[in-house]
């Protein structure tokens, strides 16, 4: 399913995917921020999975730090968006399921099988092959896993595969052929 920036995809039995536009602010009180909040609320009320994708992560183990407005990430975590995807940092990383804020994340669950509505999972998928970078070492307590140039064996280039059913949202990191062995997977259930 593909959406243009600033659109969402509210299809029956499919995840609601919001792709905020990179040319708008989404600051508190703006129409764009209110529309994003409405889409999230509508999707949750309809029993859909909620996935928000944005370019720059605020909670990151990469070199850039919080390069976006932390209040957006705080709002998404506060609404327990199921999955928050980003890129920008050229590595792969995933959080445990968290609540709280970007400045003070609270780990809700760390076993890789998460209950919908209990918190959010944040994934940075920037390991596509261009100018790979390092990840924090050691990882912060909120981070479940990461792959960067300083990881044992180097970075595992790859992509994230998502599968959504009415009962589960499953994510699996797929390392490209010829890469080092690296695996990550998690599931959100309801």
CA dist 100 and 92 (Å) reads 22
Q: What is the pLDDT of residue 1?
A: 36
- CA distances to 5, 8, 86 from 164, rounded to whole Å, are 21, 16, 19
CA dist 184 and 175 (Å) reads 10
Low-confidence ranges of the chain (pLDDT < 70): 1-23
Q: pTM to 2 decimals?
A: 0.88
Q: What is the pLDDT of residue 113?
A: 98
Closest by alpha carbon to 39, among 85, 6, 70, 73?
A: 6
Q: What is the pLDDT of residue 185?
A: 97
CA dist 5 and 106 (Å) reads 30
Q: What is the pLDDT of residue 19?
A: 64
Q: What is the pLDDT of residue 44?
A: 94
CATH class for the domain made up of 16-189: alpha beta
Whether a cis peptide bond, with omega within 30° of 0, leads into 104 is no
Instruction: Enumerate the domain spans of the chain.
Output: 16-189
């Amino acid at each position: 399913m593909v959406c243009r920036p600033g659109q969402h995809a509210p299809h029956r039995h499919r995840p609601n995917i919001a792709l905020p536009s990179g040319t708008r602010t989404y600051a508190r009180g703006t129409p764009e921020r209110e529309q994003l909040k409405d889409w999230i609320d509508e999707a949750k009320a309809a029993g859909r999975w909620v996935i928000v994708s944005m370019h720059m992560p605020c909670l990151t183990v990469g070199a850039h730090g919080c390069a976006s407005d932390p209040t957006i990430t705080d709002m998404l975590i506060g609404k327990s968006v199921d999955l928050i995807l980003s890129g920008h940092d050229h590595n792969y990383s995933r959080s445990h399921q968290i609540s709280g804020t970007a400045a003070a994340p609270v780990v809700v669950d760390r076993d890789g099988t998460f209950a919908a509505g209990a918190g959010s999972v944040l994934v940075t998928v920037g390991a596509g092959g261009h100018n790979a970078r390092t990840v924090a070492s050691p990882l912060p307590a909120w981070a479940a896993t990461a792959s960067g140039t300083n990881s044992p064996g180097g970075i595992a280039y790859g992509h994230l595969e998502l599968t959504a059913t009415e009962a589960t949202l499953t994510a699996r990191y797929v390392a490209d052929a010829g890469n080092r062995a690296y695996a990550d997977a998690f599931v959100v259930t309801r």
